[in-house]
A and B are shown apart, each in its own frame.
Chain A
Amino acid sequence: MQNDSEMDLSSAETRDLRCIAGMMIPASKEFDVPGADDAIIFADIVKSLGRDRRDVRDALRVLCDLAGGAFAELDVARREEVAASFRVRGGVAVATLSRVILQCYYRDDRVVRSLGLEPRAPFPKGHTLEQGDWSLLDPVRARPKMWRDAS
């Protein structure tokens, strides 16, 4: 028998998760980015729950309790109120839910490009850093020794 952390989210849990993800990070025409409830991003979120599944499920239970039922079925104004209470309530489960949404959202190609970054793994290309002006050290070099003799 599967335990709570192994079972897939129910369809009601999935609807609530997608709804809160979209409220947390909505799509933006101004920045030309999808919301966290975008189909591709949300599929990544669900697929990536892994060891966080139990905490996410706990967070969704809190969300339902605050909503007095299915969160996704509330009207917009009430959802805003519940989402605000949910965030203020905090705790490990709520923080975990936020994290799993953020860590998938900010690796989506469209989102990464909108930040002016390349959508790629760091390896093998790496990055280039300015070597810098080491003459900045001249005033430090001119200081007397700072370490204490202790022999």
Chain B
Amino acid sequence: MNETVDVLIIGSGASGAAVAWSLAETRMKILCLEQGDWMKQADYPTNGRDWEARLYDDFATSPNRRARPTDYPINDDNSPIKVVNFNAVGGSTIMYTGHYPRLHPSDFRVRTLDGVADDWPIDYATLEPFFAENDRMTGVSGLAGDPAYPPKQPPMPPLALGKSGARFAHAMNRLGWHWWPSDTAVATTEYDGRAPCINLGHCTPACTQGAKASTDITYWPHAIRAGVELRTRCRVREITVNEHGMASGAIYYDADGAEQFQPAEVVIMACNGVGTPRLLLNSVSGRFPNGLANSSGLVGKNLMFHPYAQVFGYVEEPLDSNRGPPLCLWSMEFYETDPSRDFVRGYAFQFGRGIGPVTEAIFSDADGRLPWGVDHHRVFRRLVGRRIGLSAICEDLPEEHNRVTLDPVLKDGHGIPAPKIDYTLSRNSLRMMDHGIARAKDVLAAAGATNVGVHCPILNGGWHLLGTARMGTDPERSVVNEWGRCHDVKNLFIVDGSIFVTSGGVNPTCTIQALALYIADSMKQRLATLFD
């Protein structure tokens, strides 16, 4: 029998790490269960000549393809966008690019401003100190003064502009459109024991240099030094409840596959927008026959991904290709609602530097751009190193039919029912993507690119898993309250992307982590009355 802990955190990724670190100062007994392993930088792809090939192997973005023992399968056949995640200490911050924008103030007030979806029960100002704290803990590079945001001060200077960035900058200035160096979770100077970026250029499938801020090297060393226990290779099957309807702990399988029970006074879920509803729906009891914390029926519903419209072309001059962090700039020119358009809300552009030779060959072969036979070499030399591209990351509005349920057949290696995704693109998203494609083509034309191609939506682009246990003040219309506590179970909290009310049109990790810090702070402020 495991000893009862004060706080049990499930998942050690972006949000689990942040909440663990923040709560550590309370000196409560805190345990985090993580289904994955600690990663080793010496095992990361950029150590070897097969660095690009491993994106199709043990560092594939899809857990179904990667199929490590620490992964669980996901049935995403009924979705035009496939789920991306990673299961390890650090979670999907191991497998992300570190493009790190905040949500904007308007994102928290979409009903009030634009008459769609719902307002969040909190606002940008509430999160602002936690954004700043998270920037400091994560080590964010960027440049103050962006007119698209309220004032903020990233702690490190921005990533280099490079040839690709400069070409985009000139193009955007010609068009008179907004652009700015991205806030990025990549260290550009030595920072908190991390080495600065040396432009390995293959950031997404883990950073060998340790410059990218995955939480195994940011929050976790601090949390563990402060007394938090992190137990790896522990896959939670269900949250248990006691006779009072309170969470009593979790049943999990340990590294040897043995079933264990971990009792806890408080349970915090940090398993992402697919893993959290999966676990809640698997936690069925007489008191909660439809899954834990699901009296609203909204657990698993309102899944939001961010549909991506990617547009690219080729220029004559060799650019940066894979020789730097892949994303360097953003544009918020089309972020806010414009009544003259045929869609509401908007999107951000993120600008890419280019891709490596193997990836270029594979993509261009698949698109039919690269011939077989004697012309192969001549054509490839006009493509390699010359790709320039940008993506519109579109706000995905919540719709209940987009959802995570339990697959009736598919199970993980421990026999736990796997998640099933049902997702369709809305008319609003399709119109927004069309707009993004047209404007991206304008940018590429201004940048002197030709031979333009489009990938829309990006098939393997389900990086952002949001909305499946939404936050709100009305227990009939939300799963957690305005500080992350489940309406139905007063010692159960959710801190991951599940609680997003709307998605905004930017990458969510920065906001997920700020939310986790805010919820941890709310818990600390209420310790004496936490369950009232």
> Would you give the 0/1 interface string for A102-113, flagging 1 where the beta carbon is closer than 8 Å to chain B?
111111000010
For B105, list chain A residues within 8 Å (CB). Answer: 147-151
Looking at the assembled complex, report how far the CB atom of A54 sits from the nearest CB atom of chain B, in whole angstroms: 13
A1 within 8 A of B: no
The residue that B199 contacts in the complex, of A99, A128, A150, with Cβ under 8 A, is: A128
Is A131's CB under 8 angstroms from B361's CB? no
Is B52's CB under 8 angstroms from A136's CB? no
Please give me the residue from chain A that is nearest to B376 by CB atom.
Answer: A25
The residue that A33 contacts in the complex, of B173, B336, B377, with Cβ under 8 A, is: B377
The CA-CA distance from A20 to B330 in the complex, in Å, is 42
Looking at the assembled complex, report how far the CB atom of B381 sits from the nearest CB atom of chain A, in whole angstroms: 7
Instruction: Kindly specify which of B141-149, B433-441, B479-487 makes contact with the partner chain.
Output: B141-149
Looking at the assembled complex, report how far the CB atom of A27 sits from the nearest CB atom of chain B, in whole angstroms: 9
A87 within 8 A of B: yes
Is A121's CB under 8 angstroms from B51's CB? yes
For B385, list chain A residues within 8 Å (CB). Answer: 115
For B159, list chain A residues within 8 Å (CB). Answer: 129
The residue that B125 contacts in the complex, of A107, A148, A151, with Cβ under 8 A, is: A151
Is A148's CB under 8 angstroms from B106's CB? yes
For B200, list chain A residues within 8 Å (CB). Answer: 122-123, 126-127
A77 within 8 A of B: no
A130 within 8 A of B: yes
Is B166's CB under 8 angstroms from A117's CB? no
A89 within 8 A of B: no
Instruction: Kindly specify which of A5-13, A56-64, A65-73, A137-145 makes contact with the partner chain.
Output: A137-145
Looking at the assembled complex, report how far the CB atom of A91 sits from the nearest CB atom of chain B, in whole angstroms: 11
A31 and B377 contact, Cβ closer than 8 Å, known pairs A121-B47, A134-B161, A147-B148: yes
B201 within 8 A of A: yes
> Would you give the 0/1 interface string for A73-89, flagging 1 where the beta carbon is closer than 8 Å to chain B?
00000000001000100
For A150, list chain B residues within 8 Å (CB). Answer: 105-106, 108-109, 112-113, 123-124
For B166, list chain A residues within 8 Å (CB). Answer: 130, 132-133, 136
For B179, list chain A residues within 8 Å (CB). Answer: 137, 140
The CA-CA distance from A8 to B170 in the complex, in Å, is 53
For A127, A133, A134, A151, which residue has the most chain B Cβ atoms within 10 angstroms? Answer: A127
B245 within 8 A of A: no
B467 within 8 A of A: no
Looking at the assembled complex, report how far the CB atom of B200 sits from the nearest CB atom of chain A, in whole angstroms: 4
For A129, list chain B residues within 8 Å (CB). Answer: 159-162, 199, 320, 323-324
> Would you give the 0/1 interface string for B395-419, flagging 1 where the beta carbon is closer than 8 Å to chain A?
0000000000000000000000000
A95 within 8 A of B: yes
A98 within 8 A of B: yes
How many A residues have CB within 8 A of the partner chain? 56
Looking at the assembled complex, report how far the CB atom of A81 sits from the nearest CB atom of chain B, in whole angstroms: 13
Looking at the assembled complex, report how far the CB atom of B442 sits from the nearest CB atom of chain A, in whole angstroms: 17
Is A130's CB under 8 angstroms from B362's CB? no
> Would you give the 0/1 interface string for B29-71, flagging 1 where the beta carbon is closer than 8 Å to chain A?
0000000000000001011111111001100000000010000
Is A146's CB under 8 angstroms from B178's CB? yes
B365 within 8 A of A: yes
B165 within 8 A of A: yes
The residue that B377 contacts in the complex, of A28, A124, A151, with Cβ under 8 A, is: A28
For B143, list chain A residues within 8 Å (CB). Answer: 134, 137
**B residues 168-222 in Cβ contact with A at 8 Å:** 169-170, 173, 176, 178-181, 197-202, 208-209
Is B161's CB under 8 angstroms from A126's CB? no
The residue that B357 contacts in the complex, of A87, A117, A123, A131, with Cβ under 8 A, is: A117
Please give me the residue from chain B that is nearest to A149 by CB atom.
Answer: B105
For A128, list chain B residues within 8 Å (CB). Answer: 199, 323
Query: Binding site of A, secondary structure by majority: helix, strand, loop or mixed?
Result: loop
Instruction: Kindly specify which of B130-138, B265-273, B366-374 makes contact with the partner chain.
Output: B366-374
For A115, list chain B residues within 8 Å (CB). Answer: 357, 381, 384-385
Is B358's CB under 8 angstroms from A103's CB? yes
Is B147's CB under 8 angstroms from A143's CB? yes
Please give me the residue from chain A that is nearest to B66 by CB atom.
Answer: A51
Looking at the assembled complex, report how far the CB atom of A101 sits from the nearest CB atom of chain B, in whole angstroms: 9
Is B365's CB under 8 angstroms from A147's CB? no
Please give me the residue from chain B that is nearest to A104 by CB atom.
Answer: B53
A103 and B52 contact, Cβ closer than 8 Å, known pairs A147-B104, A148-B113, A150-B112: yes
For B323, list chain A residues within 8 Å (CB). Answer: 127-129
B17 within 8 A of A: no
B163 within 8 A of A: yes
Is A136's CB under 8 angstroms from B170's CB? yes
**A residues 1-33 in Cβ contact with B at 8 Å:** 23-26, 28, 30-31, 33
Please give me the residue from chain A that is nearest to B331 by CB atom.
Answer: A140
The residue that A107 contacts in the complex, of B50, B336, B373, with Cβ under 8 A, is: B50
A141 and B49 contact, Cβ closer than 8 Å, known pairs A115-B384, A150-B113: no
The CA-CA distance from A28 to B179 in the complex, in Å, is 43
Is A107's CB under 8 angstroms from B123's CB? no
B332 within 8 A of A: yes
For B374, list chain A residues within 8 Å (CB). Answer: 26, 28
Sample of 20 more A-B contacts, CB < 8 Å, known A98-B366, A130-B163: A24-B376, A83-B372, A95-B366, A102-B361, A103-B358, A105-B361, A107-B52, A121-B51, A122-B200, A123-B200, A125-B198, A128-B199, A136-B166, A139-B173, A140-B147, A143-B178, A145-B147, A147-B336, A148-B105, A150-B112
- Contacts from A to B (Cβ < 8 Å): 23-26, 28, 30-31, 33, 48, 50-52, 83, 87, 95, 98-99, 102-107, 112, 115, 117, 119-134, 136-137, 139-141, 143-151
> Can you list 16 A-B pairs with a CB-CB distance of less than 8 A?
A98-B365, A102-B365, A103-B52, A115-B357, A121-B46, A122-B200, A126-B198, A127-B201, A127-B323, A127-B324, A129-B323, A132-B165, A134-B143, A144-B147, A147-B336, A150-B124
